[in-house]
Structure 1
Amino acid sequence: MKLIIGNKAYSSWSMRGWLACKQSGLLFEEVVVPLYGEDWEKRREGNEFAASSGKVPVLWDGDTVVWDSLAIIDWLADKVGRDRFWPKDEGARGMARSMAAEMHSSFPALRREMPMNVRKVYPPKPVKPDVAADLTRILEICAQARARYGGENPFLFGDFCAVDIMYAPVCTRLVTYSVKLPPFAIGYVEAVLNHSWVREWIEAAQDEPWTIEQFEEVG
């Protein structure tokens, strides 16, 4: 398999696709294509990006191409067993799928005002009402998941799973923008950021030679 991703410092969707590949346990080749770099427009017009219209991540599994992070999760879950990605309990699985889908389709204000940048920590500042609404919703559903299904483990549904993959980039944003969190959320964010794969991603981002100014001037 070959996974095409963007910059690890900035590309939240790439991070989700990459974590999904790690979760699968399957071997894969990682190809980083710097977003907005000199070769970006030319590269994204090539055949390897054709299916996704030039967006990352893109997973090539032999001659099969899968794009979009949630689709990559589902593709890999079909290959290695869904229990590796989703809770076994039916009620937990229903909630987990709903939370993953909501993260996939919602929270535009958070994405716009707090773009991912794992190399920065900005001082706290007032949060706009629409961003505050997004944060409130995220914290509410995460609290519900932890209370119902988290058990003694630190992740939302006990073991690290597809939902934690979908919410991992948000955890980095909460740190980057110094968002004040309730105690349960502090523990969850720490658990995600201390996961070995998440640490590997963030550490690799520190060594990237590329800088995208539009993502560096937000704070």
Structure 2
Amino acid sequence: MKLIIGNKNYSSWSLRGWLAVKQSGLHFDELTVPIMGEEWDRLKHDMGEVQPSSGKVPILWDGDTVVWDSLAILEFCADKVGRERFWPKDETARGMARAMVAEMHSGYQSLRRELPMNIRRRVELPGLSEATRDDIVRILTLWAEARARHGSAGPYLFGTFGAADIFYAPVVTRFQTYGIGVPGFAQAYIEAICEHDWMREWIGAAEEEDWVIEQYEVMA
């Protein structure tokens, strides 16, 4: 398999796709393409015949199969190796995990817009919009409920590392980048995510990248 991702410093969806394939345990080759560069423009052109939503990362190639969209990649990998590797075994916990992943996949537009992922940066914001504050409160509420109801088996949202952690990992980096204050239980969860071997690998690579996308550096 081959996974095409964007800049590790900026691309939250690439992080989700990459973590999903890592969680599968399957071997894959990784191709990082700087988004908004000439190489990215060439790739989008080449992908046009096989990927209707060309121009988005991540993209997973597995033989003749091409899968784009991070949630589709996660589900594709789950089908190959067993869904229990990604989702809680308990039906109630699994239902909540699926709803949380779906909400992250389609929601929180204000947070995404106002707090773009930028792992290398540390910014003290003078204030946040009401919509972004609402997004943050909603996320922290979901984290609290998942940890309280289903997190007794370990430090992650549903105890063991899985799909929900994969999808909220970029939010963890955003909270750190912009110095978002969180309650103790959430800080413990943030530390658990950042100390995960795969996250340490991704963050280390992001810090070593020399690509800069100016529009993400001047925001906030």
Same structural fold, with TM-score higher than 0.5 when normalized by the shorter chain: yes
Summarize deviations over 1:154-202 as a string: whole Å, max 9, x none. Answer: 1000000010000000000000000010111101111111110011001
- 8 A Cα contact 2:14 2:57, kept in partner: yes
Instruction: Count residues with an aligned counterpart.
Output: 219
CA distance in 1, matches of 2:191, 2:159: 15
CA positional deviation for 1:58:
0.4
CA distance in 1, matches of 2:49, 2:178: 32
Secondary structure class of the residue paired with 1:66: strand
Q: Kindly report which structure 2 residues correspond to 1:73-88, keeping only aligned pairs within 5 A, or say none.
A: 73-88=74-89
Secondary structure class of the residue paired with 2:38: coil
- 8 A Cα contact 2:3 2:30, kept in partner: yes
Tell me, which stretches of 5 or more residues in structure 1 are unaligned? none
Match of 2:42 in 1: 42
Match of 1:166 in 2: 167
Match of 2:30 in 1: 30
- Tell me the TM-score normalized by structure 1: 0.97
CA distance in 1, matches of 2:93, 2:48: 36
CA distance in 2, matches of 1:6, 1:58: 10
Amino acid at match of 1:140: T
- 8 A Cα contact 2:48 2:54, kept in partner: no
Match of 1:147 in 2: 148
Over aligned residues, Cα RMSD in angstroms?
A: 1.1
CA distance in 1, matches of 2:167, 2:105: 8
CA distance in 1, matches of 2:139, 2:209: 30
Secondary structure class of the residue paired with 1:19: helix
Higher mean alpha-carbon deviation, 123-132 vs 74-83, is at 123-132
Amino acid at match of 1:95: M
Amino acid at match of 1:70: L
Match of 1:218 in 2: 219
Q: Kindly report which structure 2 residues correspond to 1:126-145, keeping only aligned pairs within 5 A, or say none.
A: 126-145=127-146
- 8 A Cα contact 2:153 2:160, kept in partner: no
CA distance in 1, matches of 2:133, 2:156: 23
- Tell me the TM-score normalized by structure 2: 0.97
Amino acid at match of 2:4: I
Higher mean alpha-carbon deviation, 63-72 vs 115-124, is at 115-124
Q: Kindly report which structure 2 residues correspond to 1:60-139, keeping only aligned pairs within 5 A, or say none.
A: 60-139=61-140
CA positional deviation for 1:218:
1.7
Identity %: 59
CA distance in 2, matches of 1:199, 1:49: 36
Amino acid at match of 2:157: L
Amino acid at match of 1:164: D
Summarize deviations over 1:58-105 as a string: whole Å, max 9, x none. Answer: 000111011100010000000000010000001000000000000000
Match of 2:13 in 1: 13
Amino acid at match of 2:14: S
Higher mean alpha-carbon deviation, 147-156 vs 17-26, is at 147-156
Amino acid at match of 1:144: E
- 8 A Cα contact 1:86 1:96, kept in partner: yes
- 8 A Cα contact 1:58 1:65, kept in partner: yes
Match of 1:2 in 2: 2
CA distance in 1, matches of 2:125, 2:185: 20
Amino acid at match of 2:83: R
Secondary structure class of the residue paired with 1:55: coil
- 8 A Cα contact 1:60 1:66, kept in partner: yes
CA distance in 2, matches of 1:214, 1:50: 30
Q: Which runs of 4+ in 1 moved over 6 A?
A: none
